[in-house]
Amino acid sequence: MKQFTSKQWIKFSIAAVLYILFTIWMQNGWLLLGLIVIADIFLTHYIPWGAWKKSKNPKVRNVLEWVDDILFALVAVYLINIFIFQNYQIPSSSLEKSLLTGDYLFVSKLSYGPRIPNTPLSFPLVQNTLPVFDTKSYLEWPEWGYKRVKGLGTVKRNDIVVFNFPAGDTVALKSQNPDYYTQVAMYGYDRLRLNKAVYGDIIYRPVDKRENYVKRCIGMPGDVFEIRDNQVYINGKPGKNPEHMQFNYYVETDGPLTEDQFRLLNVSKEDRVLASNDSYYRSLLPFLGFSSNTSGQYNMVYRLPLTEKAREIARKLSVVKNMIIEPEVLGGPTYPVDYETEWTRDNYGPLWIPKKGETITLDEKNLALYHRCIKNYENNTLEIENGKVLINGQEETNYTFKYDYYFMMGDNRHNSADSRAWGFVPEDHVVGKPILIWLSLNKDRSLFDGGIRWNRIFRMVHTD
């Protein structure tokens, strides 16, 4: 029998203990078969793992050394990305001023527990499309069901959460904004399916390959959520407003705002709209309450997102004559897009948020509000025949939810496509929690004029 050195046994023991702990964490006994591989790597060496190191050709050794390092790095990055943290960039202003466009974040997978990948065979550091090649970055087989291992905690109210976009299960590749379901409600199913020149192919994406979004968790499972005149209510009581919550205002001035004034109001160039010079917004000015002069011209009117602090600053500027908050009729369609509720962006609900184990009655309104949960997220068939509801082919009058659901909103309330537009976030779509800003770039400024937001680098991301 082959004799092993003490050093080999020590290395094998450390690796085996760590691997067993990992298997316990994953709650999958089949992974213990990997101990055979670990034993061969450190003890038996039946497979010549490092045979290339014995090559007499230095060029071959050099090339294979690079290949070995690259493969190791890819595997390490893949595992870190799945189980520990991933990098995320804030792409839009929906959470301004809590998180800024250009913030680069570390998103902790451990905070809520990492998910076992739905698509385990995928290219690391790429969400769903390989750049340059413009092809899928993952193989559709095998596709595993939802499983989340134990983490450090659970989603709490007012947490900032990264999640997979729920309405991103079906995507029109050439027209992804608004989402597929909103476009079907607006234009009809046949138009999207038949007009490939405009909408492209219609594809399905597994949960973990849907686009990543980041919002604040406002509604928890089992809550009754409502918005009245832009104030959130939870179970009939006013909810806590984020410190940096902002709304769109139409600001009338008797002259142009300067760059210093925009910076004082903390409004980025992307968010500065001179409404009085825009044909669409100019047509709305009489409706908003602005009056033209005798020549039919308007004073300068800007459309700006402002926090409460910025509004107070704007009121003190001598150039500002009037401010009007953007009315709810300009907020666009709300969830559910295929059912008339008369809800708006600023007056929404009341809406009960599904909770695991809770049961609803399947009436017309509940089917409109929760059919995506039943069919798309919990993978049931749902049909209505002769006034009867069939779930998985069986007539049902009630439904019990399998998942917890959350209601997500942006702090930039009038510039956020969130749960008011596309509905609930199922628990299996939750990716993780932003914990650290490691870089923050301001695209409005040059590198030496505030282009790097030094005061935000290595800053922890707090709930508020």
For residue range 220-229, list pLDDT tens digits in order: 999 999 999 9
Helix (H) / strand (E) containing 460: strand 459-460
Average pLDDT estimate for 142-154: 94
Question: Sign of torsion, CA 38 44 46 49?
Answer: positive
Contact yes or no for 301/275 (Cβ under 8 A):
yes
Task: Using the predicted structure, report yes or no on whether residue 242 has a pLDDT greater than 80.
Answer: yes
**Residue 137 corresponds to which tokens in the numbers above?**
């970055």
CB under 8 Å to 306, separation ≥6 — which residues?
Answer: 246, 247, 248, 249, 251, 265, 267, 314
Residue 424 pLDDT: 98
Q: What is the DSSP string of 360-375?
A: EE--HHHHHHHHHIII
Residue 254 pLDDT: 92
Residue 191 pLDDT: 94
Residue 424 to residue 125: CA distance in whole angstroms = 27
Q: What phi and psi values does residue 439 have, to the nearest 5 degrees?
A: -160, 145
Residue 106 to residue 102: CA distance in whole angstroms = 13
Residue 464 pLDDT: 63
Q: What percent of the chain has pLDDT over 70?
A: 99
b/e 24-35 (16+ beta carbons within 10 angstroms → b): eebeeeeeeeee
Mean pLDDT over each residue of the chain, to the nearest integer? 94
In tens, the pLDDT along 282-331 reads 999 999 999 988 777 899 999 999 999 999 999 999 999 999 999 999 99
Task: Using the predicted structure, report yes or no on whether residue 433 has a pLDDT greater than 90.
Answer: yes
Q: What percent of the chain has pLDDT over 90?
A: 83
Q: Assign residue 288 a region: left if phi > 0, alpha if psi is -120 to 50, beta otherwise?
A: alpha
Contact yes or no for 433/443 (Cβ under 8 A):
no
In tens, the pLDDT along 2-27 reads 688 999 999 999 999 999 999 999 99
pLDDT band for position 245 (cuts 50, 70, 90) = very high
Across 105-114, 126-135, 224-233, 419-428, least confident range: 126-135
Average pLDDT estimate for 66-84: 90
Q: What phi and psi values does residue 61 have, to the nearest 5 degrees?
A: -60, -40
Residue 343 to residue 409: CA distance in whole angstroms = 16
Across 47-51, 342-346, 456-460, least confident range: 47-51
CB atoms within 10 A of CB 299: 16
Cis peptide before 131 (omega within 30 of 0): no
Q: What is the DSSP string of 108-168?
A: ESTTT-PBPPSS-SB-TT-SSEETTTTEESB-SSS-----B---S----TT-EEEEE-GGG
Residue 363 pLDDT: 96
DSSP, collapsed to helix, strand or coil, labels residue 386 as: coil
Instruction: Quote the DSSP letter at residue 293.
Output: -
Strand-pairing partners, residue 138, are: 122
Task: Using the predicted structure, report yes or no on whether residue 346 has a pLDDT greater than 80.
Answer: yes
- pTM for the whole thing? 0.93
**Residue 457 corresponds to which tokens in the numbers above?**
């680098």
Average pLDDT estimate for 429-436: 97
Residue 148 to residue 207: CA distance in whole angstroms = 13
Residue 328 to residue 417: CA distance in whole angstroms = 14
Strand-pairing partners, residue 104, are: 89, 439
Residue 1 pLDDT: 56
**Residue 311 corresponds to which tokens in the numbers above?**
């509004």
Residue 27 to residue 149: CA distance in whole angstroms = 8
Q: How far apart are the first and last CA of the chain?
A: 64
Task: Using the predicted structure, report yes or no on whether residue 46 has a pLDDT greater than 80.
Answer: yes
b/e 178-191 (16+ beta carbons within 10 angstroms → b): bbbbbbbeeeeeee
